[in-house]
Structure 1
Amino acid sequence: MDAAAQNEGQEPLADRPIRAGAAFEGSAEIAEARDTARDFLTTVQAVHGLPVSARAMGMVQLVVCVSELVTNARKYAPGPCLLDLEIVEGAVEISVWDSSTALPSIEAADPERIGQHGLEITMAVSQMFCVHREPVGKRITAVIELASSSSRTSSKRPSN
């Protein structure tokens, strides 16, 4: 069988989405979430040739792991959480699903408050942030540009 016949019905590699996903159950796996994000962005740059700024690399790891989304999911929701990373129009879309139906509480900025700044930080560094209820649990999504620029679109949406 020739190569064209073997690949019939499949999308060309260049047209396939660039994505990765992982499931996490223990708090020790939070470092794994950070590693997953770093490895994903390293592959995006090395294999797919897309520019990934140092800011994007750091912010994605911060948003994905150094708490924010994965840590909050592990801390406040029973069971596993799912992490999805996908490249969409020059940005990385970070989605974390967890089983809790409770929507996160997004506090107003308060420099005197100790702790609970995670979502505040995530919203500040993301081009878009949203929370969606799912049939089971919720999905929190943040978007960060791959190539950093000082101008950001402000399409952040609070939770639904």
Structure 2
Amino acid sequence: MEPVPVHEDGTAPAEQAIQTTVALEGDGADIAQARHLAAGFLTRVQAEHGLPVSQRALDLTQLVVSELVTNARKYAPGPVLMDLRIAGDVVEIVVWDSDPVLPVARAADAGRVGQHGLEIVMAVAQGFEVQREPVGKRITARIALLDDPGGAIAGRNPL
């Protein structure tokens, strides 16, 4: 058996983070590029790290990435940073943009055309946070990697 490396204080080093980060520069292909990156990231998580990822998690991650990057492109000037990382049994989607104005979900309105992106993200995510940064803001959404075998969405209470 191989010895486990330890720090001088006797603690084991932290597990290597599973994540990827990309800067999106603002051309018309950003949203498709971000979705493609998200799908490739989760495929690598399965293949290289042996973590199970449901098809639903893959689809929802791409949807959330699309909505968050679309909003950042629409409302904030300059580059957008996207970070995808595995945190336990969820994928965290973190999008930073330069606009300091925090988004607010609008009241549901079936007659409204467009502007449903934040509502969609909040409906499918197991966690959602918005933080103002020294420059701009950071939005984090969490999607469960697996579905509950009973049919419920993992991490959410059925209504």
Deviations 1:63-105 (A, max 9, x none): 002xx10111011100000000110011000000000011113
* Pairing of 1:22-101 with structure 2 (within 5 A): 22-26=22-26, 27-65=28-66, 68-101=67-100
Give 1:154 shift.
5.0
Q: Which runs of 4+ in 1 moved over 6 A?
A: 7-10
Instruction: Tell me if structure 2 keeps the 8 A contact 1:25–1:74.
Output: no
**CA–CA distance in structure 2, aligned partners of residues 100 and 107 of structure 1:** 19
How far apart, CA to CA, are the structure 2 residues paired with 1:63 and 1:72?
Answer: 11
Following the alignment from structure 2 to structure 1, what is the Cα–Cα distance between the partners of residues 156 and 52? 22
Q: C-alpha distance in 2, partners of 1:101/1:95?
A: 15
Contact (CA 8 Å) 2:90, 2:144: kept in 1 or not?
A: yes
Q: Confirm or deny that 1:119 pairs with 2:132.
A: no
Q: Partners in 2 of 1:17 and 1:100 — Cα distance?
A: 28
- Aligned mates of 1:151, 1:36 — CA distance in 2: 24
Residue-pair matches, total: 146
CA RMSD of aligned residues (A): 2.0
**Does 2:105 match 1:102?**
no
- Give the TM-score normalised by structure 1: 0.84
Answer whether contact 1:91 1:145 (CA < 8 A) is retained. yes
- Distance in 2 between the 1:35 and 1:11 partners? 32
- Of 51-60 and 19-28, deviating more is 19-28
* Percentage identity across paired residues of the two chains: 57
2:138 is aligned to 139
Task: Return the alpha-carbon distance in structure 1 between the equivalents of residues 86 and 155 of structure 2.
Answer: 17
Question: Is the 1:23–1:80 Cα contact (8 Å) retained in structure 2?
Answer: yes
Structure 1 spans left out of the alignment, 5+ residues: 156-160
Give the TM-score, by structure 2 length.
0.85
Between the aligned partners of 2:88 and 2:147, the Cα distance in structure 1 is 13
1:158 aligns to what? none
Q: Which runs of 5+ in 2 are unaligned?
A: none
For each residue in 1:15-65, what CA deviation from the matched residue of structure 2 results, as whole angstroms up to 9, or x when unmatched? 201001101022322111001100000000011000000000000000002
Structure 1 residue 144, shift from structure 2 partner: 0.2
Q: For residue 19 of structure 2, what is the aligned residue in structure 1?
A: 19
Q: 1:151 to 1:61 in 2, by over 3 A?
A: closer
- Alpha-carbon distance in 2 for matches of 1:129, 1:8: 35
